[in-house]
Structure 1
Amino acid sequence: MRLAVISYHASPMAVPGSGVNGGMNVYVRALTTHLARAGVECDIFSARVGAQHEKSVRLESGLWLHSLPVQPSAPVGSAPDYTGIPEFADRVVEHMVRSSISYDAVHANYWLSGVAAHRVKHDLDIPMITTFHTLEKAKRAHGALVDDRSSLRIHQESRILGCSDAVLASGDDEARWLLEMYQAPEEKIVHLPLGIDRAFFAPGPSGPAREAIGFDDTIPIILYVGRIQSLKGTALAVKTLVELRKHRSARLIIVGGPSGVDGEREFARVLALVEEYGLDDAVTIVEPMSHELLSTYYRAADVVIVPSVSESFGLVALEAMGCGTPVVATDAGGLRTVVDDGYSGILVKDRQPSAFAQAIESLLANPVHYRAMSQRASACAESFTWAASARRLIGVVERVVQQEVLVSCMSCA
């Protein structure tokens, strides 16, 4: 079995946490790695902005990354935009034809990749599997900022959904969004939760971890990991620290960088809050780092805060739980799939600084309760593995390959 994986704007080799890079990069790399280890050969196709030549790298046995040149329509930035997709799709098809490799299916990640995969499906007559990662209608429903291509994205998401032979949903809420907001056929939707690599995300002593990151005192550490943007609630994490410090000493570590249409604005809010409340010694901002290094920060932290407006899944919460660090997260989206409220973490319904601070204080003030939740969090995380996700995807590929007729659509991207 051989799978073509389209990850147009987010190379699995990029460091998550800033720009366009985040959980999707981790998803693509981890899932394809475990597919390859299960005997499924995978070719990942990603765009290489401004380059003149294709670059192919063997990541491990059975897994290749092909970075294909795309010429920018504007000054070269950190990521390709929508206008580069036709050229990128040309490059993908050219590579496939030139290599004479027969692919069983194409797996698109995110709507931009879906537009390119749509073309691949029809040119090569192979099934198309889609993971949207986020959905524009769901973001709108949760109050996310709308940019100038929001309507275009909704239109394309609907077309991609209509042409997909299977759609992977990471949790119950994402599946419900697909059904209710996009009227997706129920038989197309397959639940495929994300996973963690226990070789990295496992419990360990906090003392050495704190020392490794430069905080070897006893002041509680609240950790925020992810892109800095209003949808992720970075400024809300800082306001939560302000509330918490009314009752006890605490510090906040933010690991990530600005991202999205309001990333720089949210970063400015964070800096303004730090200055307003005199938090220079209490808030530390760390640049994005390789995914595996995050485990040290998770183990060093007392609590991981995930104050997102919503998440399709909630990979940061799962990674923290894997390290035995309790999570306080918004009661929304895929975070409900990951966090068992009151058992393996705390879900906050009222998305206000005081509510998050109260939840964190309830853990820090009760060491017995804290230790029990830490142990339960780690145990719950053990059921989420990338190997299991890969096995489930193999079953999906086998099913769509065996269908006599591919799902057809009214028009092609």
Structure 2
Amino acid sequence: MKIALVSEHTRPLSAHRGEPTCGGSVHVSSLARQLARLGHRVTVYARRGDSALPDRARMGRGVTVAHLAAGPPRTLTESESAEHTGAFATALAEALVDDAPEVVHAFGWTSGLAALSAVRREAAEAPTPPVVQSFHSLNVAEQRAGLPRRDERVRLEAALAGRADAVVVTSAEQRFELARMGVPRTSVGVIPFGVDTEHFTVEGATAASPWRRRRDERVRIVSVTRLGTGGGAEALVETMSRVPEAELVIAGGPARDDLAIDPDARRLELLAKEHGVDDRVTLVGAVDRKELPRLLRSADVFVSAAGYEPYGGAVLEAMSCGLPVVARAAGGVTDAVLDGTTGILLRHARPDALGRAIRQLAADPTSRTAFGIAAADRAASRFTWQRVASETERVYRRALPQEGDLPLAAGDDAH
């Protein structure tokens, strides 16, 4: 099968090289490679966000990345990206004529608009391929987490879900949100975010360098999150004053060498001093994905205090490394973590609640070990990229007219 993955705003080559990047880039890159392993030919279409990016590049056997010119060759904000979606759609339509796919899979609302527009332009000349729409995030859910309201985007997301031949989301929570928007639950498949269980493993080397003195006497906590608003970093720093027996490393934000001039990093460092925990809090900046398992394996507990986490990718990677998880029950995290089995889920990620959960695990190494074993087992049995690709393939085959009697993806059994 010839498959076109349309992901306007991602950087799949960066994810393929193991560089720090967004969850969407990891998703598209990992899915593309696994679909190729199933015998498909995959082309990923992304906007050229850097003048140094090639027009086309191989990303492993059977996978090609095509960078389309649409707007300035730099990283764009969401509103800026939307302004250039028309140009991206035009370039995509031309590319699909030159290399016609059997199925088109769009990731995100701007990519969905571009994909539907491009396919519609083909309609007069040839049979059009089915369009599968994935939503990594929905604005109605973002609003509830305190992120900006985008009324036009809400309307467009509902319209895209109604017009696509198939809809895929990464969590049961997102399917519920679409149902509230009028999209029948039966028409939406749930296929979770995945994890590379060959890279994120329980066994292997650990990274000891970030830890402070007396590390052997302290419970080691790690979090991988953005440093700005919504990532939960402030709550984590404040929590440390309630857990004197622990130390914290936060990975995320700019490169380590740029932390000194980053306003979010400076704000967190000042907050740590204000709470008297600056000797037990370390910011390490962005960590290459090839090094991330070593950092995770050096910890005792993984904590996520993000107010909104549509992917749950960092949690899955920690689970795959055998870490018990303390996290706010939101988005993909809710489907990934089994409360009381692989970790502790919280309704709110306030410092008092986080502190109680961390102290509970700090005082009970037997539970930490049991949770960690169960977490690694769950990651390997339910969330591998191989399984994600197989379930996505089933959605494609169902969307194809001649194979429309096959069942929707079995992604609803996330628990």
TM-score by length of 2: 0.86
Letter in 1 for 2:145: H
Which structure 2 residues correspond to residues 267-282 of structure 1 after superposition, within 5 A?
267=265, 269-282=267-280
- Match of 2:5, SS? strand
**Residue 325 of structure 1 contacts residue 377 of structure 1 at CA under 8 Å; is this kept in 2?**
yes
1:212-227, aligned counterparts within 5 Å? 217-218=215-216, 219-227=218-226
Aligned partner of 1:192: which letter? Answer: I
SS at match of 1:39: coil
Query: What is the CA deviation profile of residues 136-177 of structure 1, one whole-angstrom value per residue up to 9, with x for unaligned ones?
Result: 01111232244xxx1222122122112111111222111111
> In the alignment, is the contact (CA less than 8 A) between 2:176 and 2:185 conserved in 1?
no
Superposed CA deviations along residues 305-359 of structure 1, whole A, max 9, x for unmatched, are 1112233341111111110011100023322211110111111124310111111
Deviations 1:32-91, CA, capped at 9 Å, x for gaps: 11001111111011111474996110011110111122233xx95456621111111111
Q: 1:251 and 2:247 equivalent? A: yes
Match of 2:105? Answer: 107
Measured in 2, the distance between the counterparts of 1:52 and 1:253 equals: 33
> Shift of residue 272 of structure 1?
3.0
1:209 equivalent in structure 2: 206
Consecutive unaligned residues of structure 2, counting only runs of 5 or more, are 123-127, 255-261, 405-415
Cα deviation for residue 187 of structure 1 reads 3.3
Equivalent residues in 2 for 1:367-406 (5 A)? Answer: 367-383=365-381, 384-402=383-401
In structure 1, give the amino acid aligned to 2:285.
E
Secondary structure (helix, strand or coil) at the match of 2:203 reads coil
2:296–2:321: 8 Å Cα contact kept in structure 1? yes
- After TM superposition, the structure 1 stretch with the greater mean CA deviation from structure 2, 326-335 or 215-224, is 215-224
Partner Cα distance (1:404, 1:343) in 2: 39
**1:51–1:71 contact (8 Å) kept in structure 2:** no
| Contact 1:340 1:346 (C-alpha < 8 Å) held by counterparts | yes
TM-score by length of 1: 0.86
How far the C-alpha of 1:123 sits from its partner, in A, is 2.2
* Equivalent in the alignment of 1:133: 136
Higher relative contact order (CA 8 A, sep 6+): 1
How many residue pairs align between the two structures? 385
SS state of the match for residue 232, structure 1?
coil
What secondary structure is seen at the aligned counterpart in 2 of 1:236? helix
Conserved? CA contact 1:136–1:153, under 8 Å: yes
- Structure 2 residue aligned with 1:346: 344
1:27 partnered with 2:30: no
Match of 1:410 in 2: none
- Work out the CA distance in 2 between the residues paired with 1:287 and 1:67: 28
Cα 1:241/1:127, change in 2 over 3 Å: same
Give the Cα separation in 1 of the matches to 2:324 and 2:137: 25
Question: Counterpart of 1:70 in 2: which secondary structure?
Answer: coil
In 1, the alpha carbon distance for the partners of 2:284 and 2:13 equals 20
Corresponding position of 1:70: 70
Contact 1:56-1:66 within 8 A present in 2 as well: yes
Residues 5-404 of structure 1 mapped to structure 2, 5 A cutoff: 5-14=5-14, 21-49=21-49, 51=51, 55-72=55-72, 76-77=74-75, 81-97=81-97, 99=98, 101-124=99-122, 125-146=128-149, 150-180=150-180, 182-204=181-203, 208-211=205-208, 217-218=215-216, 219-245=218-244, 248=245, 250-257=246-253, 267=265, 269-383=267-381, 384-402=383-401
Tell me the amino acid that sits aligned with residue 160 of structure 2. I
**Which residue does 1:411 correspond to in 2?**
none
CA distance in 1, matches of 2:284, 2:62: 34
Partner Cα separation in structure 1 for residue 362 and residue 34 of structure 2: 37
Distance 1:266 1:151 in 2: 28
Gaps of 5+ in 1: 259-263, 406-413
- Partners of 2:269 and 2:53 lie apart in 1 by 41
Change (3 A) 1:58 1:76: closer
Percent identity (aligned): 30
Contact 2:316/2:336, CA 8 A, preserved across alignment:
yes
Contact 1:15 1:290 (C-alpha < 8 Å) held by counterparts: no
Supply the distance in 1 between the matched residues of 2:109 and 2:289 (Cα, whole angstroms): 24
Question: Is contact 1:168–1:192 with CA below 8 Å preserved after alignment?
Answer: yes
Q: Which residue of 1 aligns with 2:2?
A: 2
Are the counterparts in 2 of residues 33 and 63 from structure 1 also a CA contact under 8 Å?
yes
Q: Does the CA-based 8 Å contact 1:48-1:67 persist in structure 2?
A: yes
Do the aligned partners of 1:328 and 1:356 also contact (CA within 8 Å) in 2? yes
Q: Which moved more, 1:164-173 or 1:226-235?
A: 226-235
Does the 8 A contact of 1:173 with 1:312 survive in 2? no
- The separation in 1 between residues aligned to 2:85 and 2:275, in whole angstroms, is 45
User: What secondary structure is seen at the aligned counterpart in 2 of 1:270?
Assistant: helix
Residues 96 and 237 (structure 1 numbering): CA distance in 2 closer, same or farther, change over 3 Å? same
